[in-house]
Structure 1
Amino acid sequence: MTLSCPTALPGASLDWENGSTISSPASIPEYTGPKLYKEPSFKSNKFIIHNAITRCCLAGKVNEPQKNKTVEDMETSTANHFLILFRDSSCQFRAVYTMNPETEEMVRLTGIGPRLITLDMVESIYKYSSDRKQFTVIPSKTMSMSVDAFTIPGHFWQKRPGTPKKLSTPK
């Protein structure tokens, strides 16, 4: 017994019940189920910042508690773009910020530093190189999605007044 099936033309579908080809796209029902693919809103640098923190900024056993907390805070965040705040040009890690592209403000996610940083507070900006495991200064003042870290001027690092130290009583 030999089964024969009609040959389908390019761009046509096969109607197996009637043994004929259907070339009308209107006869194919449109998919109305849940949307399986979501268009990304914009590029995320979460993976790059994660690598920079674990392999460069907070590498080593001594930094493990801070590194784990920072990575956990990043994972629970809904932000797409993260920035590392350095103390100064020696690239000493201080905090991770998220950037809002509409307001161009950076809000502290975790770490030590001002709660909110505006573009006019930024002193220098850096790009992270994954292969060299180091940060490089970008000779620009324009904050963009390619920026991975930044510094702010020293006067923003002034300490807040705390509780006065307890005076020791003479014996």
Structure 2
Amino acid sequence: MLTGEKQNSRSESPSKVMSSGQLANQNGEKDWEHVSNASSPASPSEYTGPKLFKEPSLNKFIIHNALSHCCLAGKVNESQKNKIIDEVEKSSTSHFLILLRDSNCQFRAIYTRDGQSEELHRLCGVGPRAISSSDVEAIYKYSSDGKQFNTLPSRTLSMSVDAFTIPAHLWHTKKHGTPKKVATPK
């Protein structure tokens, strides 16, 4: 007769058997007013999954390393390097780019990127005052391990780019000489 006692204890009403998230009324329908929101998606402030947007990282340290160990290394360049690093530190910009003369990676200037117009503006150094992103010839990533610049196979400026070169014709500025005097006959 023990089996009968177990059956009696299990034969309770449907509303008592269902969990708190699945309350049912007398007709067996779900009671939506008393259901917990445990199964509903979390609100944006409660989201605990992976970040979908990553803040742009500062590359000041990478630029500092590139200037110290590659571009302006040594005692000879120390005063120029310190001036440029001071300008970088004063700037409120988060991403800097080094203008290199050519593929030999000779330092020329530091540029900042204007996110709205996709134009590069010279912060300090020698080079054009503003450069369009379409005028970029080659882009480079600085390798701290190898203390060198590595060419990237793209021409698109992104947050992972540390340096760039421009075509040779942008280096040559038109110099306006003084007009030659025409000799007048006496």
**TM-score in same-fold range (> 0.5):** yes
Query: Which of residues 70, 74, 85 in structure 2 aligns to 1:71?
Result: 85
Query: Which of residues 154, 163, 167 in structure 1 aligns to 2:168?
Result: 154
Query: Which of residues 42, 46, 54 in structure 1 aligns to 2:68?
Result: 54
Q: Look up the SS of the partner of 2:76 in the other structure.
A: helix
Aligned pairs, how many?
125
Question: Where in structure 2 are the equivalents of 1:1-171 lying within 5 Å?
Answer: 42-161=56-175
CA–CA distance in structure 2, aligned partners of residues 128 and 88 of structure 1 = 15
1:69-118 deviations in Å (ceiling 9; x for gaps): 10010010000000000011111100000112222111000000000011
Task: Supply the RMSD in Å over aligned alpha carbons.
Answer: 1.6
* Paired amino acid for 1:111: G
- Structure 1 residue 42, shift from structure 2 partner: 2.4
CA gap 1:163/1:77 in 2 versus in 1, 3 angstroms = farther
1:125-148 deviations in Å (ceiling 9; x for gaps): 000000110000000011100000
TM-score, length basis structure 2: 0.64
Q: Look up the SS of the partner of 2:63 in the other structure.
A: helix
CA–CA distance in structure 2, aligned partners of residues 119 and 99 of structure 1 = 9
Between Structure 1 and Structure 2, whose CA radius of gyration is higher? Answer: 2
CA–CA distance in structure 1, aligned partners of residues 57 and 172 of structure 2 = 34
In structure 1, list runs of 5 or more residues that go unmatched.
Answer: 1-39, 165-171
CA–CA distance in structure 2, aligned partners of residues 106 and 80 of structure 1 = 13
* Paired amino acid for 2:151: V
CA gap 1:101/1:69 in 2 versus in 1, 3 angstroms = same
Larger proportion of helix: 2
Detail structure 1 runs of 4+ shifted over 2 Å in the superposition. none
Q: Look up the SS of the partner of 2:68 in the other structure.
A: helix
Percent of paired sites with the same residue:
59
TM-score, length basis structure 1: 0.69
CA–CA distance in structure 1, aligned partners of residues 134 and 102 of structure 2 = 16
1:38-78 deviations in Å (ceiling 9; x for gaps): xx952111111111011110001111111011001001000
